[in-house]
Amino acid sequence: MQILTFIGFTLLVAIISYLKTREVGVTSSDSYFLGGRSLTAGVIAGSLLLTNLSTEQIVGLNGAAYESGLSVMVWETLAAVAMIITAIFLLPKYLKGGLTTVPGFLAKRFDTTTKTLTSVLFLSGYVVVLLPVILYSGSLAISGMFNIPELLGVTHTQSIWICVWGIGIIGSIYAVFGGLKAVAVSDSINAIGLLVGGVLIPIFGLMMIGDGNLLDGLNILTTENPEKFKSMGGPTDPVPFYTIFTGMMLVQLFYWGTNQQIIQRALGAKNLKEGQKGLVLASFIKILGPIIVVLPGIIAYHLFEGNLESADSAYPELVRKVLPGAWVGFFAAVLFGAILSSFNSVLNSSVTLFGIDVYKQHINKNADEKTVVKYGKAFGVVLAIASMFIAPLIANAGSLFAYLQEINGIYSIPILTIIVVGYLTKRVPAIAAKIGLVSGCLLYILSQFIMQPYFIEKAVSIAKLNGITDTAELTLIKAQAYPHFLDVMAILFILNIIIMLIIGKLKPRETDFIQEYTQQVDIEPWKYVKQVGVAICIVVIGVYIYFA
């Protein structure tokens, strides 16, 4: 019955996506890469949320909450502020320029080489890290939920390979052959299911704690675990509170404002009003995100009395414990949709970047739109197959999950830097952007993967020589031995900006950069965007003050 429910819901989403895609068609660049610039607010909001929310986040963030409590909600709540900034400041500029890709702006502002370097950085991050991680973490969840090894009589490793290829093939069909419209429509339907299923887990959990009474359960949880309900993280927490004012906001701005995988949804808006409404709606729902990706981790801590072997098993164990059997098939289908969404969204963005910024620019400059789409799809197929081969091998690279955010920092901050400088200055030249990209990447790698391990190892050695063996004390010493990676991002962001401005002063462009209006879509802003944006920011601040 569970498998039938799973298959039924998955097929329903696929059929609706196919019918909706036929209305637009996918023969031109705009129709394939941007859904024909026809996306409305609801579709944009749903697609943004589900592209962001997948198994590695649901499982990983709840695992972090199991260990550290409410302070990890910063990944959700601060995203709302970043989306508001994107809606008010960045999206109008993107739509005014008629952009299909973020690097497309860099070609106009700096030069083609800068655009190509940025596209290659995006593609490298997607291929080497993001796609395989999404496939592997999703396969772990699906294999565990349906107990695939027992069901098919295979080993755990074989079940991971089966799930990886199943998810990969279905996700590739959506992304490569359906284009952004199919991805966005399937996202919107699955987003509703994920919100319903995601909210039910903490509800059932609180009812179990309160012997059937939801409010009693919440009261018991907060009374007996007050240390878990503090919004401000300490020095040994995954996100110390002060990092909100250093690199955390930069990471959020990069992710929601410049990351091709995410912003492509808003670039496909039918006009600026719909794009802004979509971002604002998504930002409001994002404030409620901790109910799905943080609260269950704290509930699991209470129910299992903090005795689970692994923090990352908190969410799967909680689902198994509190979810009625009849709901398992539906919830598995929704999780499957979340996995597919993240996979096909990254793949679609990769196809877009390759087709427009690499193939059209460097391989076949005279290619018509059908040819660009054709070769973009071919690249997508190769990329998908490569990621399916790589994904199961991640089982042997345990550090990859822990360092996922750090690894993304290699390219996120340099790209954010040159986009910010590109929009806020008129005379900084192309050479400054290239130096900013290269220096940003190299300095971050030097800091996080050479200097950080050296200083931490040295600090721990000195501590042990002084007779310190307590685990909590050693953890604190490690945290204080080297700046947090979010602090490093902030330092390098400022340093890169200074380097680019100095070059701009010494060797400026000959003429001012002036952005042209391409008239692709109406760029009349939504008249309430600033008022609603300010209100959402006040709500975020209020949440922090309440739980402080």
In the chain, domain spans? 2-396+517-547
Q: How confident is the model at residue 451 (pLDDT cuts 50, 70, 90)?
A: very high
pLDDT for 55 beyond 90: no
pLDDT for 526 beyond 70: yes
427-446 pLDDT tens trace:
999 999 999 999 999 999 99
Pairwise CA distance, residues 513 & 65, whole Å: 46
- The SS3 assignment for 269 reads strand
Residue 496 CA to its chain's centroid (Å): 24
pLDDT at 152: 87
Pairwise CA distance, residues 326 & 451, whole Å: 52
Q: pLDDT higher for 523 or 398?
A: 523
Q: How confident is the model at residue 516 (pLDDT cuts 50, 70, 90)?
A: confident
65-75 pLDDT tens trace:
898 889 889 98
Residue 476 CA to its chain's centroid (Å): 29
Beta partners for residue 269, in sequence order: 39
pLDDT at 216: 94
Q: pLDDT higher for 227 or 14?
A: 227
Q: How confident is the model at residue 259 (pLDDT cuts 50, 70, 90)?
A: confident
460-503 pLDDT tens trace:
888 888 888 887 788 888 888 899 889 999 999 999 999 999 99
Domain 2-396+517-547 coded CATH 1.20.1730.10? yes
What is the DSSP code string of 504-548? HHHS--SS---PPP--SSB-PPPTTHHHHHHHHHHHHHHHHHHH-
pLDDT at 419: 92
Pairwise CA distance, residues 410 & 466, whole Å: 36
Over residues 288-299, mean pLDDT: 91
pLDDT at 63: 85
Pairwise CA distance, residues 210 & 115, whole Å: 56
Ranking 37-41, 44-48, 113-117 by mean pLDDT, the lowest is: 37-41
Residues 6+ apart with CB under 8 A from 546: 231
Over residues 23-33, mean pLDDT: 49
Question: Percent of the chain at pLDDT above 90?
Answer: 29
State which amino acid sits at residue 105: F
Q: How confident is the model at residue 372 (pLDDT cuts 50, 70, 90)?
A: confident
Given a contact cutoff of 8 angstroms between Cβ atoms, the answer to whether 517 and 96 are in contact is yes
310-338 pLDDT tens trace:
777 788 788 878 888 777 777 777 777 77
Over residues 207-214, mean pLDDT: 93
Over residues 290-305, mean pLDDT: 92
DSSP state of 26: S
Over residues 49-61, mean pLDDT: 76
Q: pLDDT higher for 35 or 128?
A: 128
Question: Which uninterrupted H or E stretch holds 38?
Answer: none
Dihedral over Cα of 205, 208, 214, 217: its sign: negative
Over residues 187-194, mean pLDDT: 71
pLDDT at 261: 73
Q: Which among 290, 299, 293 is positioned nearest to 222, based on CA atoms?
A: 299
Q: How confident is the model at residue 86 (pLDDT cuts 50, 70, 90)?
A: very high
pLDDT for 509 beyond 80: yes
DSSP state of 539: H
DSSP state of 526: P
Q: pLDDT higher for 517 or 161?
A: 161
Q: Which among 362, 403, 342 is positioned nearest to 191, based on CA atoms?
A: 342
pLDDT at 398: 47
Pairwise CA distance, residues 221 & 291, whole Å: 14
Ranking 25-29, 108-112, 218-222, 377-381 by mean pLDDT, the lowest is: 25-29
pLDDT at 325: 74
Q: Which among 257, 352, 324, 301 is positioned nearest to 31, based on CA atoms?
A: 352
pLDDT at 399: 43
Tokens 């700096």 identify what position? 110
Pairwise CA distance, residues 470 & 456, whole Å: 16
pLDDT at 26: 46
pTM of the model: 0.82
Compute the mean pLDDT over every residue in the chain, rounded to the nearest whole number.
83
